[in-house]
């Protein structure tokens, strides 16, 4: 089987296309050199005091996410418990019906 893979033209095609891709990627890097931002970019990245009141604070956002995660877990656990209780009640009713039906 290995002999056929070495000699097949399909394997050669994939091997050659892979080599071309790797050589091409070395010739033209995908990342450009770092360039310092100009005055306009620095002005856009600077902190704006008029927008400060709209800024979300990391600590409060983290706390809100944590509360939402806890509530999600509680709701899922409650749903699982309800499903379990219904299954147990149904099984008990089924056993009682068998016991009542078998005694008559």
* CA pair distance 104, 99, nearest whole angstrom: 9
What pLDDT, on a 0 to 100 scale, did the predictor assign at position 84? 98
Residue closest to 47 by CA, chosen among 39, 55, 37: 55
pLDDT along the chain (104 residues), means of 10: 56 60 52 79 85 74 93 98 98 93 66
What pLDDT, on a 0 to 100 scale, did the predictor assign at position 20? 56
* CA pair distance 66, 60, nearest whole angstrom: 10
Taking the model in full, what pTM does it have? Answer: 0.43
* CA pair distance 104, 93, nearest whole angstrom: 17
What pLDDT, on a 0 to 100 scale, did the predictor assign at position 50? 81
- List the Cα angle 89/95/101 in 5-degree steps: 135
Domain ranges in the chain are 2-27+57-103
């Amino acid at each position: 089987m290995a002999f056929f893979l070495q000699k097949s033209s399909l394997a050669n095609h994939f091997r050659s296309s892979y080599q071309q891709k790797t050589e091409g990627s070395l010739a033209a890097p995908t990342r450009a050199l770092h360039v310092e931002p100009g005055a306009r970019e620095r002005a856009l990245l600077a902190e704006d005091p008029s927008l400060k009141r709209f800024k979300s604070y990391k600590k409060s956002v983290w706390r809100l996410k944590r509360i939402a995660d806890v509530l999600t877990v509680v709701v899922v656990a409650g749903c699982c418990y309800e499903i379990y209780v219904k299954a147990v009640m149904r099984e008990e009713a089924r056993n009682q019906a068998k016991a009542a039906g078998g005694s008559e």
